[in-house]
Structure 1
Amino acid sequence: MEAEGGGGKAAAGCLYLVDTLAGDPEVLQADAEIYYEKLLKKSSSTHDVFSIPGGEEVKLEDSCVCFVPLYRNNPTCKVLLLTDPKDKETVLAVYLNQRWWPVEDVVKTADPSRDGLVSVQTFGERIILFVLNYIIFGMLEGSSANDAFFLPHSATECAKILWRNGEAVAFYSVKMKGSLCDGITSQCYLLPVLDTIFVRRKYRRSGLGMKMLHDFCQSFMAEDALGISCPISAAMYQVCQKFLQTYPEEQKRLWEVEAPGNWSQRMNIWLKIQMESFPSQKAEEGSQMGNAESNKPREPAVDQVNKGIEYIHGVGKVARDAAEKKGDTAAAQTLNSPCPEQEDLEYGAGNTQQCKGFRKRAGPGGSVGDKAAKQVRMIP
């Protein structure tokens, strides 16, 4: 038997998930839980199959289907995922609206009004943000040389998705001024901070990183100071350098900051560029190459989720305490090209974050902590 809606577009015309998802999130999750229970009760001879775009079929059984939290701060809200039985690090589809959606279809739209940078507001757009961040970057397009996986954003994360030609191709998220820095202290951000930023591989080197950085600055014109999460990678500094050369009026406004961002926790980015006091691309790459031999064997993503720990390139297994001390005050951002003019933005705001410990990540039915630091991923 083939699963209902086993692949491709929605039955209603050429609409995609984000165009049709209008139901109550709790009802949608309940539907997924009912479907999952039915799946568990089926015998091996009657399992449905999911048709992967391209022709291959995957049997729908409990060994390759699991729930994961949709939001970092709400472990009870989950989404059902289908992983490749041959490679648990590869997510094939998401179950919503009583059918399976291939990952590539989840991030598409038939609505021509979705073009350029659009604020994340609807539940469907939260699903898009989750897929871009957690699945496409965290599992499918991240470097195989580095074993970092990323927590979902919170349910109220301020973010924008960049749409181009009917597809979600990039996003960035912001820690708003006045929002809590973490779930441990009562400290709040003293300025808006660019926290995470990601461009899909096939859309890099086309100016999208510059476009999002410019949009971030334009969105807070009334603010005298704007932050980018510390530590900033050498590659992201290249983007900042080109941006600040193009828009010199922003040179006094952009700061590398640690949460909550008081004056003792800020360094002017343009000043660091002029002083050449930021990390070099070659040094970062050399450090990663030097750590390669000590890297732990890569485990399937779902196994890492279930264990609640992660293996990170060149670090190994670290206790959760280290993550809790640092908090979630920095993201990871990388560029794939050593040349400033070749923007190849991968992710967020910090390259030396590897030494700051691990995020705890929950598997099906578990909770996701809100206390851990994101990890960097640099592709040589």
Structure 2
Amino acid sequence: MMAAAPPEKRAGSAASAAGHLYPVDIKDVTLEAVEAAAQVYHAKLLEEPLSTVEVFPIPGRKNVKLEASLMRFLPLYREDNKHRLLVLIDPQDENTVLAIYLHNSWWLVEDAVKTADPSREGLIQVQTFAERTVLFMLNCIIFGMLERNLTHDVLFVPHSKKECAKIFWRNGDAVAFYTVKAKGSLCDGHTGQCYSLPVLDTMFVRKKFRRRGLGMKMLHDFCRNFATEDAVGLSCPVSADMYRVCQRFLETHPEEQSRLWEVMPPGDWSQRVSIWLKIQLEQNLPKNVNLSCQVKNIRDDEGQMSKRVSHVPDIKASPDEVKVFHDDPEEVFDLQPNAEEHIQRKAEVQQRKESKKRAGREEPVEGRVPKHVRAMP
């Protein structure tokens, strides 16, 4: 374990001072010890006169003064505001973090997500406090403050202490991560509902490591980890970029097409949309048809709830337009450009059935179209 030194002698990037180790490489470290050291250091800065203020070297720009006014304590876990980490704020932008205080030293953000351990390569389960700190940096600092597109409404809050996560390490850098809501885990702290299937909840790839297939690798790892499950989910809403990843993945791994769903918690049959079906529909439907994550309950001709087609997205249309398909699951998943003719034939058959029923009841039938089945335009 790295020997502690007075803060005034350890300011700056600490890789060399730690024998080329990075925070994640330092063994037997606890959150309580790191937090206590940060509290002592911060309290000392509040007591010292301004004439003794140190500076922190930032590559490519002026040094930043290590003043208490530029430091913040940020919560490490979503449900626990007591455990916090000390960070240094950019004096020119209060929404940007420059460094984090770990092991009695300030570490640049870029250094805090590195490793000197060559065996730390590929997707590795987050288990230690040090790995949890890297997850925090990737999630709340790099994504949440440095790389997030402000035009997007997606925002990752700190993860739960018990949340399952994997970090993707490549050539000494933490380049991506994904987290999972386990089957049977609580959806939130406000209800007793539990997830009915494993759900990939968050995924992030750093900008400079994108377009290298990392999203595909993480999605494949997720599905493989739950290979015995009949269904696995992605947390709704799924972004357009993620849908493109899903399309490439499902085209490469057709055996997963029937297992992957977009779900809302807790993910029962009325809260699922088949991702593969949605991709197929978006390729074949007119652009003005809106495919929603919400799924409506449907009933077959005998009035029984039909789970096998509950994955069909809610299509916003006029009252007389189609609400659901009654095709077999195989037909739904294999929906091709010529499927409109197939659906038209089914609609015509259904219309003739309805006409006979109305004729038997002496009801007018001319010009009437069944509301629950109609061909796509």
With normalisation by structure 2, the TM-score equals 0.71
Q: Which amino acid aligns with 2:254?
A: P
Q: Does 1:18 align with 2:18?
A: no
Q: Which amino acid aligns with 2:132?
A: R
Q: Does 1:268 align with 2:274?
A: yes
- Paired with 1:157 and 1:279, the residues of 2 have a C-alpha distance of 38
C-alpha offsets along residues 308-364 of structure 1, whole Å, 9 cap, x if unaligned? xxxxxxxxxxxxxxxxxxxxxxxxxxxxxxxxxxxxxxxxxxxxxxxxxxxxxxxxx
- Paired with 1:130 and 1:278, the residues of 2 have a C-alpha distance of 41
C-alpha distance 232-279 of structure 1, shift in aligned 2 (>3 A): farther
Partner of 1:80: 86
- Paired with 2:286 and 2:27, the residues of 1 have a C-alpha distance of 45
Secondary structure of the corresponding residue to residue 135 of structure 1? helix
Q: Does 1:127 align with 2:133?
A: yes
Q: Is the 8 A contact 1:2 1:51 kept in 2?
A: no
Q: Does 1:150 align with 2:166?
A: no
Question: What fraction of aligned residue pairs are identical, expressed as a percent?
Answer: 60
C-alpha offsets along residues 197-251 of structure 1, whole Å, 9 cap, x if unaligned? 0000000011001010000001111101000011222222111111100000000
- Paired with 1:224 and 1:99, the residues of 2 have a C-alpha distance of 48
Work out which of the residue numbers 226, 233, 244 in structure 1 matches 2:239: 233
Report the CA distance between 1:55 and its aligned residue: 6.0
Partner of 2:112: 106
Q: Is the 8 A contact 2:14 2:105 kept in 1?
A: no
Q: Is the 8 A contact 2:29 2:130 kept in 1?
A: no
Q: Is the 8 A contact 2:177 2:205 kept in 1?
A: yes
C-alpha distance 51-177 of structure 1, shift in aligned 2 (>3 A): same
Report the CA distance between 1:88 and its aligned residue: 1.0
C-alpha distance 278-268 of structure 1, shift in aligned 2 (>3 A): farther
Report the CA distance between 1:174 and its aligned residue: 0.4
Q: Which amino acid aligns with 2:281?
A: M
Partner of 2:351: none
- Paired with 2:224 and 2:277, the residues of 1 have a C-alpha distance of 21
- Paired with 2:239 and 2:258, the residues of 1 have a C-alpha distance of 20
C-alpha distance 69-21 of structure 1, shift in aligned 2 (>3 A): farther
Q: Does 1:174 align with 2:201?
A: no
Gaps of 5+ in 1: 285-380
Secondary structure of the corresponding residue to residue 276 of structure 1? helix
Partner of 2:209: 203
Partner of 2:38: 32
Q: Is the 8 A contact 1:2 1:50 kept in 2?
A: no
Q: Is the 8 A contact 1:21 1:123 kept in 2?
A: no
Q: Is the 8 A contact 1:16 1:110 kept in 2?
A: yes
C-alpha distance 261-68 of structure 1, shift in aligned 2 (>3 A): same
- Paired with 2:171 and 2:252, the residues of 1 have a C-alpha distance of 26
Report the CA distance between 1:282 and its aligned residue: 12
Secondary structure of the corresponding residue to residue 35 of structure 1? helix
Count the aligned residue pairs. Answer: 284
Report the CA distance between 1:276 and its aligned residue: 1.7
Partner of 1:257: 263
Secondary structure of the corresponding residue to residue 51 of structure 2? coil
Q: How does 1:1-380 map to 2 (within 5 A)?
A: 4-54=10-60, 56-146=62-152, 149-276=155-282
- Paired with 1:17 and 1:183, the residues of 2 have a C-alpha distance of 31
C-alpha distance 104-194 of structure 1, shift in aligned 2 (>3 A): same
Report the CA distance between 1:2 and its aligned residue: 6.2
- Paired with 2:115 and 2:24, the residues of 1 have a C-alpha distance of 6
Gaps of 5+ in 2: 1-6, 291-377
Report the CA distance between 1:24 and its aligned residue: 2.3
With normalisation by structure 1, the TM-score equals 0.71
Structural RMSD (CA)? 2.3
- Paired with 2:105 and 2:174, the residues of 1 have a C-alpha distance of 21
Structure with larger RCO (C-alpha < 8 A, sep 6+): 1
- Could you tell which deviates more after superposition, 115-124 or 81-90? 81-90
Which has the greater radius of gyration? 2
- Paired with 2:85 and 2:137, the residues of 1 have a C-alpha distance of 10
- Paired with 2:217 and 2:67, the residues of 1 have a C-alpha distance of 43
- Paired with 2:239 and 2:284, the residues of 1 have a C-alpha distance of 8
Q: Is the 8 A contact 1:162 1:169 kept in 2?
A: yes
Report the CA distance between 1:3 and its aligned residue: 5.6
Partner of 1:301: none
Q: Is the 8 A contact 1:70 1:78 kept in 2?
A: yes
Q: Which amino acid aligns with 1:35?
A: Y
Q: Is the 8 A contact 1:3 1:50 kept in 2?
A: no
